[in-house]
Structure 1
Amino acid sequence: MNLTRLFDLIPYQIATFDKEISLAKKENGEWITYSSKKVKEIVDNLSLGLISLGISPGKKVAIISENRPEWNFVDLAVQQIGAISVPMYPTISSDDYAYIFDHAEVEMIFVGDQTIYEKAVEVVGERKIYSFNELNDLEHWTSVSTLGESGDISVLESLKDNVKEEDLFTIIYTSGTTGRPKGVMLSHRNVLSNVKAVSKYFVPEEGVSKALSFLPLCHIYERTGAFCFMQKGFSIYYAESLEKIGDNIREVQPQMFNCVPRLLEKIYDKIVAKGYELKGIKKQLFFWALNLGMKYEPNQEMGAWYDFQLKLANKLIFSKWREALGGNIEQITSGASALQPRLARIFWAAQIKICEGYGLTETSPVITASVPTHKEIRIGWVGRLMDDVIVKIAEDGEILVKGPNVMMGYYKQPELTAEVLQDGWFHTGDIGELDGDYLRITDRKKEMFKTSGGKYIAPQVMENKFKEFVLIEQIMVIGEGKNYPSALIVPNFEALREYCVRKGIPYTTDEEMILRDDIIEKFQSEIDQLNKYFGKWEQIKRFKLLSSAWGIDTGELTPTMKLKRKIIHQKYAQEIEGIYEN
């Protein structure tokens, strides 16, 4: 069948795969599953219920919840009647809720749990609100679907027929690193063109594979990914929480999941920490395999001796990595920020295909994606251009994009739309280079800065390199208008404890450890080694160790774990001043 609207994926999945498990969630220790046909039944009833409650084409419905099948049910139900979904991060403030409710003219709200409800209810006004969890004094989402059970299906079919591929399907308010969020308008065509292009790069077998989902569905990366999983006939299992991802991976044994580099770094750091706990020959073998993996180039002939060693390393060491990821993992996609090349090498060496992608909310999101074959993968690059997507590099190095995936514009903000959409080209704000149809990102245009000597610094590239040091958890390179670049560093305190045990250093508190001369000297030594990869003007001359990690809840990170540089600058103004005062 011809897929022209995103909700066409429901009948498509039934006709092509008729999944026994289309969506699944864990509740009270048990996995609750929904078949393809059950999903359609629930979604149709929800659509009819929404119609009876006055939701008509063009009206806005907000979804604020952690990942769960109900999220998909409401999203698809809203689409079918030509209404517009407004997904929102559960973690943002009530003030942001109020702004988006008003700016988007939201008429109905679905919330996940009590915590989200308590934030939303402060600013909900006269809007109708429903919950996914059973909450006191609040109508449950099933009351809407129950209302629709007696509805006229022909009315729904008529509304579905009126929805065109070029119609607006969602407004996504980008979290942003400064100022009020912007409402990105995406059509069915925008996202569906991306779904069709991206799903060609999926390795697992369609119709029988499982995907674990834990990145927020309110972000276009995971949402488009979920639509891809639906098209490929993968069973989607929603993780219980970020804390339980490891447990859920071992239970579900998925073939695929989407990830951000920050989580891959955490997985890698935990593996290395376990390696340090080993003794004798086992420890030697572990780090032999690790060093072997760091040299791996998947698209190059490494020689018979290297291949023999890698085969042995896979049998003795890397097989345990694959077991920790459920034993069936065939592909992990990484996006939202830059992936350390050494991580990509090591995982590919371990027969775990890490495929990096690049894009923005405004591009639905994927512009490029890694080709998941040893011959065509290019580590350090963000992949090959998607079908029908055109990229050119502007004179100042900025990446410009054209294609069916480029947004309709920013909702109610024509001036901002005109700033980024010029002569049909979307200005990404990223700096990069093209080699044929392969793209490499070198930095964010707005994040580059000049030292007082007039030299440009690209902080992301440097930060990615310095995070190769196992004791660095988070880092931000600073120094705009200064004589030299410096850095704020949050240590990986778990790894630091392991290091102290090995070196016989008594560990007291995190706050005290970062003030010790021997610990500071260790960081200085490693930074000196990594500085060699950069020009003299780029090298980090001084740094400040911090005792508190940066987080989403504390305001230093966006929901996709990007640094909010302005906020960090403001929060640590005194520490930054101290770095440069003598």
Structure 2
Amino acid sequence: MDFLSHQSIPAILKVNARQFAKKTAVSFKKQGVFLSLTYEEFYERVLMLARGLVKVGLKPEDPVCIFSENRLGWAISDFGIQSARGIPVPIYATNTGKQAAYIINHCGAKIVFVSTKAQYEKLLEVRDEIPGVELVISYERFIGDRSFPVYTQYQLSEAGEPLLPEEKVEIERMIDQIAQQDLITIIYTSGTTGVPKGVMLTQYNIMSNAQIGLKQLGALKDQETFLSFLPLSHVLERTAGYYATLLSGQHVAFAEDVKKVMENMVEVQPTWMVSVPRLFEKIYSRVHENAHQLSPLRRSIFHRALQVGRDYANKKYVDGQVDGLLAMQYRLYDRLVFRKIRDRFGGRLRGFICGGAPLDRTINEFMWAIGLPVFNGYGLTETSPALTLCNLGAVRFDSVGKPLAMTELKLAEDGELLVKGPQVMRGYYKSEEKTAEIFSDGWLKTGDIARIDENGFVYIVDRKKEIIVTAGGKNIAPQPIENELKLDKYISQAIVFGDRKPYLVALLNPNLERLIDWSREEELDYLDTDELVKSNRVRALYTERIAELNKNLPPYATIKEFVLIPGEFTIEGGELTPTLKLKRKEIYNKYKEMVDQMYMKKGNGLVFQTTSTDGEKK
């Protein structure tokens, strides 16, 4: 379908509701069972909600907030608000009440959708700070406070009352009035570098990005299922995993929870998923963990299979040619090893679309080797989001692919990537100053340092603001070093610091499963994980692992000191964004004392410290 022959995303849904009337549009889990709605049924729910919003006074271009995790209600709200000509403004489900209040007040929303009582209670706590909110709508039924009444989406939609023909005509007339240059959403950035900014994206921005992205990726089959687990509040999932899927007549299944993604993959058997690198890091770690438990013979077969898989992936997808013997070896190991791995993830996956943060080359190559290709891309909230994307005919395992059609890229003198294209935002909401700052002669400044090779492949070096400049004047990109650290079987997460300092230091989360296995083999005695990581033998283990990494780095980029932190960085702990990127500023502030103390050492060799998950030195 040519998306751009239509004026809006709701207009395409209207067509699809007729063309794919009985085809499954969305699936969701309720009381332990996945249920579904056809395109016809989903569209009916959307129109009912739009009817209700019009009745309570929603006017064209009124912002409406959605404070929810991924679920059916989110999707109905989103399309319903658009169909009533409002502007959906998502709020991450992990946000606090105060964070939500800022967005609600800044955009001026009078109506807020919430998913659960827990989200409602966040708003109730800041009720005095959001005086403009007139109506709260919940996807679940519960009793709210008398001073802050809440209604259900079912009630607002008057779901028990079928749409009258004249009501449907009226809502569809409103849909027909939506223009390509109208705002489809205002998405507030995560605010990791300051106050969140409201990114204004148009119907044309999103539709063009979805259509061009799908074309660059390659044709979809007639029956595709996308499992949606990244927050729909984030533009990557919203455009690539949700809009692109529904606009092309495919099936979106909403995962129960981020923590149940692996389980849901087996249940739903998706063919495609959108993800960030953290999922692939976990898959890489889990597969290697399982291989570690195999007998010596089977472990040897696994490692041989991986070597053949890597050779095959490079020959076929990078070089574009595979000799017969290698292809035959790969088919053998695919039956013996890789097919069994894929079955653990549903068995039908054709590929992943990856963005949000750099994906390590080793992990990307591993995913292609086992037959779960990752189509790496790059973009920003401000660009709807995709600017580049790999495809089967254009793969480099350390690249984010080539520019999308109609997208122009160039490098500034300092290496910053500058862009123009149909996906570039209108600007920041109520902030002409910030809008002017991000544009230079019509080019949007991405804030990322990049390089572009002679074949047009784009490589992201690091965030411009995250480049470390040491006291000795050396410029160091921390993310490649962090990715190398995370490849170590005893390290789960890592973050490197060293800006304006004499050397680099690191905070490390151990891979506790691996470390506990090692401790059994070494017959260590300990009461809990805090005591385990304080063991002198554990200190020696990690000192040795970091020393091995340092051998492959130039002297100025080696890790001189590190702190081991039990547990993992989390969204709840404030260390990760909702899309699982490291919040460097927050992590530094939380562990500032530990980081600063590492610079009180002389830096002569590795110094090992440990800390509890609350930042208290041990």
Q: Of the candidates 461, 470, 473, which is equivalent to residue 454 of structure 1?
A: 473
Q: Does 1:275 align with 2:291?
A: yes
Residues in 2 aligned to 1:451 and 1:105: alpha-carbon distance in whole angstroms: 44
Residue identity matched to 1:525: E
Instruction: Give the partner amino acid of 1:130.
Output: I
Match of 1:231? 247
CA RMSD of the aligned region, Å? Answer: 1.9
- Residue 9, structure 1, aligned to residue 7, structure 2: no
Contact kept? 1:46, 1:74, Cα under 8 Å: yes
Gaps of 5+ in 2: 145-149, 602-618
| Alignment match of 2:23 (pick from 9, 20, 23) | 20
**3-state SS of the aligned residue for 2:376?**
strand
Per the alignment, residue 597 of structure 2 pairs with 578
Match of 1:392 in 2: 410
Answer yes or no: is the 8 Å Cα contact 1:165–1:188 preserved in 2.
Answer: yes
Q: Which residue of 2 aligns with 1:142?
A: 154
Query: How much has 1:43 moved relative to structure 2?
Result: 0.9
2:284–2:366: 8 Å Cα contact kept in structure 1?
A: no
* Structure 1 residue 247 corresponds to structure 2 residue 254: no
Specify which of 171, 190, 208 is matched with residue 186 of structure 2.
171
1:466 to 1:307, Cα distance in 2 relative to 1, 3 A = farther
Per-residue deviation at 1:279? Answer: 1.9
CA contact (8 A) 1:368 1:383 kept: yes
Distance of 1:112 and 1:474 partners within structure 2: 31
| Equivalent residue, structure 1, for 2:370 | 350
SS at match of 2:388: strand
Matched with 1:266 is 282
Alignment partner, residue 571 of structure 2: 552
4+ residue segments displaced more than 6 Å: none
Whether the 8 Å CA contact 1:276–1:498 is kept in 2: the answer is no
Residue 206 (structure 1) shift = 3.3
Paired amino acid for 2:98? D
Task: State the distance in 2 between where 1:359 and 1:403 align.
Answer: 12
Residue matched to 2:448? 430
Deviation at 1:304, TM superposition (A): 5.3
2:359 aligned residue = 339
- Alpha-carbon distance in 2 for matches of 1:308, 1:55: 62
SS at match of 2:209: helix
1:262, 1:382 → 2: CA distance? Answer: 16
User: 1-side partners of 2:539 and 2:306: how far apart?
Assistant: 26
Matched, 1:499 2:506: no
- Per the alignment, do residues 524 and 310 of structure 1 end up closer, same or farther by CA in structure 2, a change over 3 Å counting? farther
2:84 and 2:595 map into 1 onto residues whose CA distance is: 53
Q: Which AA in structure 1 matches 2:407?
A: V
1:239 & 1:154 partners in 2: Cα distance? 34
Cα distance in structure 2, aligned partners of 1:292 and 1:468: 20
Aligned-residue offset at 1:534: 2.6
Q: Match for 2:306 among 284, 290, 298?
A: 290
Call closer, same or farther: CA 1:497–1:347 in 2, change over 3 Å: same
Residue of structure 1 in register with 2:81 after alignment: 78
Contact persistence 1:62–1:85 (CA under 8 A)? yes
- Structure 1 distance, partners of 2:202, 2:22, is 27
Q: How many residues align?
A: 580
With over 3 angstroms needed to count, the CA separation of the structure-2 counterparts of 1:463 and 1:19, relative to structure 1, is farther
Secondary structure in 2 matching 1:406: coil
Distance 1:123 1:574 in 2: 32
Structure 2: which amino acid aligns with 1:315? R
Aligned pairs (5 A) from 1:368-387: 368-371=388-391, 373=392, 375-387=393-405
Task: Determine if contact 1:273/1:498 at 8 Å carries over to the other structure.
Answer: no
- 1:132 — aligned with what? 139
User: Normalising by the residue count of structure 2, what TM-score does the alignment of the two structures yield?
Assistant: 0.90
Alpha-carbon shift at residue 508 of structure 1 (Å): 4.0
| Separation of aligned partners in 2, 1:482 and 1:401 | 33
Cα distance in 2 between the residues matched to 1:194 and 1:341: 26
Q: Is the 8 A contact 2:92 2:578 kept in 1?
A: yes
- Alpha-carbon spacing, 1:227–1:140, altered in 2? closer, same or farther (3 Å): same
Equivalent runs, 1:412-561 vs 2, <5 Å: 412-435=430-453, 436-506=455-525, 508-561=527-580
Aligned to 2:65, the other structure's residue is in SS state strand
